[in-house]
Structure 1
């Protein structure tokens, strides 16, 4: 994603956007971690912080920033409230840290941990 101002151009890599989104999401109450599906068997794998970006898809087209977060939620937590908290936190942190405002933040719940 490029930001242009009077001083020049700033380019923020999708990997950086994904890492910020992953850290923000993991700080929300009820989130166990990011999830990654193994393509061969459809089993959800819980990712550690070193692989947090594998559970996030960033789409940057025509100045439209879309972030998809694949998460695992704690059992007993409201899925709707937890997902909304993640969306709000990711939007806030992205704006605060990069100046970018995501057009869409999607939270895909891949699993629940007991």
Structure 2
């Protein structure tokens, strides 16, 4: 009888173990940056003061420039700062960007 109780306890512990999948903020920012750069009408991503200094001294382009990400357990919050081409429909570009970023994460 003691053997059966031990086996039950081991099986119960195995069933309660859950795997989790997590993403680093930097990975999310890169995916969002690539998705935003695919949108016609977005000229570039806009970083802050430090990003501007970095651009002057470094020749490599940072795909995450102008993007902030907060990654939670079940959701992600993104802030994208972009420079839009003059005369373009900003609400349409915003909507297209949101849809393209969402699609990158739901593939």
| 1:21-42 deviation line (CA, Å, top 9, x unaligned) | 0000000110111111217xxx
Q: CA deviation at 1:95?
A: 1.4
Q: Based on CA coordinates, which of the two structures has the bigger radius of gyration?
A: 2
| 1:45-86 deviation line (CA, Å, top 9, x unaligned) | 5x7973121311111235231111111111111111111110
Aligned to 2:44: 33
Aligned to 1:60: 71
Judging by fraction of residues, say which structure has more strand.
1
Aligned to 2:34: 23
- The question of whether the paired residues in 1 share the 8 Å contact of 2:23 and 2:71 is answered with no
SS at match of 1:15: helix
TM-score using structure 1 length: 0.64
TM-score using structure 2 length: 0.68
In 1, distance between residues paired with 2:60 and 2:79?
17
SS at match of 2:45: strand
In 1, distance between residues paired with 2:62 and 2:35?
14
Judging by fraction of residues, say which structure has more helix.
2
Structure 2 stretches lacking a partner, 5+ long:
1-16
RMSD (Å), alpha carbons: 2.6
Aligned to 1:91: 102
Q: Which has the higher contact order (CA 8 A, sep 6+)?
A: 2
Bigger mean CA offset, 22-31 vs 59-68: 59-68
**CA distance change for structure 1 residues 49 and 20 in 2, over 3 Å: closer, same or farther?**
farther
